[in-house]
Chain A
Amino acid sequence: MAVDTQTVEKLAELARIAISEETIDEVGNRLGEVLQLVDQLQAVSTEGVAPMAHPLDEVQVLRADEITESNRREEFLALAPQSEGGLYLVPKVID
């Protein structure tokens, strides 16, 4: 079943993805198909099964708390679409 327009708009807002009005029905139809596929999960009983977030039960390796990275601020900042005075620039947030 297709996901309705209101839900698609809400998801798009949560995910911060602009979706054009012309494609919103199509997006809803496709999402509906995927949700129909994953709904097969509801048919199996999982009572008492612990959720598995990760494939391996490994213990974290500890290391000495030492500085290993050099400061490469300029190189990383150079990747930004807009920066100024060592800071990332975005449109004005506070009036």
Chain B
Amino acid sequence: MHQLTIAEIIRGLRDRQFSSVEITGHLLGRIEQLDGNYNSFITVTPEQALQQAAAADERLTAGGAPALCGVPLAHKDIFCTEGVRTSCGSKMLDNFTPPYDATVVENFNNAGAVTLGKTNMDEFAMGSSNETSYYGPVKNPWNTNCVPGGSSGGSAAAVAAQLAPGATATDTGGSIRQPAALTNTTGLKPTYGRVSRWGMIAFASSLDQGGPIARNAEDAAYLLSAMAGHDPKDSTSLYRPVPDYTAGLNGDIAGLRIGVPAEYFSDDLNPQVAARVQDALKEYEKLGAQLVEVSLPHTHLAVPAYYVIAPAEASANLSRFDGVRYGHRCEDPRDLRDLYMRSRGEGFGEEVQRRILVGTYALSAGYYDAYYNKAQQVRRLIKQDFVQAFEKVDVIMGPTTPSPAFALGEKKADPVAMYLEDIYTIAANLAGLPGMSLPCGLVNNLPVGLQIIGNYLDEARMLNVAHRYQQVTDWHKASAA
């Protein structure tokens, strides 16, 4: 039953092949039995899940239930869940139980979806390997000596290990796409503002965006349809209608213009990964698509610009964790300054501290123009590269990551090497564009991701383009389990 896709579960529930209580119970049993190997969950919520499943079964019997009614899912532990501890992977929030749901969670609850639990992640979503979590690293189900990617490594691993058919995730610089690539799952980071950020613990507010990780594009389309939409509680959420993302999946893609940027096939790219991506592009040519060379000349500046902008925003966002209103407080503070300093020194891990300090540096007097202002100017140049490319093409394709999953511990001590993991994903966040990763082959039995970058609000086309590829290939069906 755990091998079923979301689309198959939706059909199975409606055809009475099984109930939501049955499939929920089955997946909870699998998590209990297997997650010791992967550490993909921080909190499992069996009682609540079975209650939700029973309620969903009643709604299904009554008829007229939304598509996702009764479908078990997992939520990244960055989304606030009423009455369920939401840690963001940090000691700082180890004791934090929010009194409200994030809008994304509320949307899924209203649709009748079942929450299996909260997935592991890099602390405050800062990392590309899931090794910065206070709750220990997540292991890649394809090879438990390897990282699953990050920061949404728990969501990706849970889907790859068939502990959940789909999961929510977030992406500030690649945190949906990179773990999706490393675990043979399909992940989509929507256009900035497509999905509400309300109740999603903030890292870098002009870059953060929630999205789904699933086993294929069709399932991602179901999840995005439930997640997306304007939210009066998030002033940056887009006031645009949400299409039914499942409606256009089968559309013909003959004549599709695929932009292939030379900059995404540079010396940093593992040649075997490059070969798998080239194979995928050939497959698209067979489907009638046309490959067009495009240039994104400022690509090499995306990582440097990001590591000014994201830490700068993080240093402001994370100032809310002060040991006063919620979260970790140190023992016996001498005075208010001591309370702040030690609560934050103890509550934040090394990488989070590093990014706050980098952000503080970039925003401090005398450095603001050289760093923050400069990075924002470069951000515009990066966006303009894409605007020009999309005058000639419909989507852009390339690798999601420079190499397959790396070994646990391999890059942990070298932050800059870790940052370069996101060399191909960060630009879409800076520009606010939607990006996606889908499985396109294996190298040494480790998955490789094909990245699709779309134009603003073009998620429906990207899902169509991904789905058509998945109709003629089987890479997404390859299983670690």
Contact = CB atoms under 8 A, between A and B. Distances in A.
Contact of B334 (A16, A34, A58, A91): A91
B137 to A, nearest CB: 20
Contacts of A91: 333-336, 338-339
A93 B338 CA distance: 11
A67 interface: no
Nearest to B309: A53
B324 A60 contact: no
Contact of B358 (A17, A35, A39, A93): A35
Most buried by B among A36, A56, A63, A80: A56
A33 B370 CA distance: 17
A1 interface: no
B361 A35 contact: yes
Interface residues of A, number: 53
Contact of B381 (A12, A38, A49, A76): A49
A31 B354 contact: yes
A42 B374 contact: yes
A26 B5 CA distance: 47
B415 A34 contact: yes
B326 A80 contact: yes
Contact of A52 (B334, B336, B380, B456): B380
Contacts of A46: 374, 377-378, 381
Interface residues of B, number: 71
Interface stretch (B18-26, B166-174, B300-308): B300-308
Given A16-B337, A18-B345, A50 B380 contact: yes
B340 A16 contact: yes
Contacts of A75: 99
B347 to A, nearest CB: 9
A72 B98 CA distance: 12
Interface in B354-368: 354, 356-358, 360-362, 364
B376 A81 contact: no
A46 B172 CA distance: 24
A79 B303 contact: no
Interface in B315-333: 315, 319, 322-326, 329, 333
B2 interface: no
A93 B339 CA distance: 11
B329 to A, nearest CB: 4
B383 interface: yes
A53 to B, nearest CB: 6
B377 A50 contact: yes
A58 B236 CA distance: 8
Contact of B193 (A14, A20, A58, A80): A58
B379 interface: yes
Nearest to B348: A17
B360 A44 contact: no
A71 interface: no
Contacts of A16: 319, 322, 337, 340-341, 344
Contact of B432 (A56, A80, A82): A56
Nearest to A77: B325
B288 interface: no
B361 A31 contact: yes
Contacts of A37: 303-304, 307, 416, 419
Interface in A1-53: 3, 7-8, 11-12, 14-20, 27, 30-31, 33-42, 44, 46, 49-53
B271 interface: no
B353 interface: yes
Contacts of B416: 33-34, 36-37
Contacts of A27: 353-354, 357
Contacts of A78: 99
A43 to B, nearest CB: 9
Contact of B324 (A35, A52, A53, A90): A90
Contacts of A17: 341, 344-345, 348, 353, 356-357
Most buried by B among A14, A37, A52, A56: A52
A25 to B, nearest CB: 14
B236 to A, nearest CB: 8
B325 A79 contact: yes
Nearest to A37: B416
B329 A81 contact: yes
B431 interface: yes
Contacts of B304: 37-41
B251 interface: no
B379 A52 contact: yes
A8 B354 CA distance: 11
B298 interface: yes
A11 B374 contact: no
6 contacts: A39-B304, A50-B380, A51-B373, A52-B380, A53-B376, A56-B236
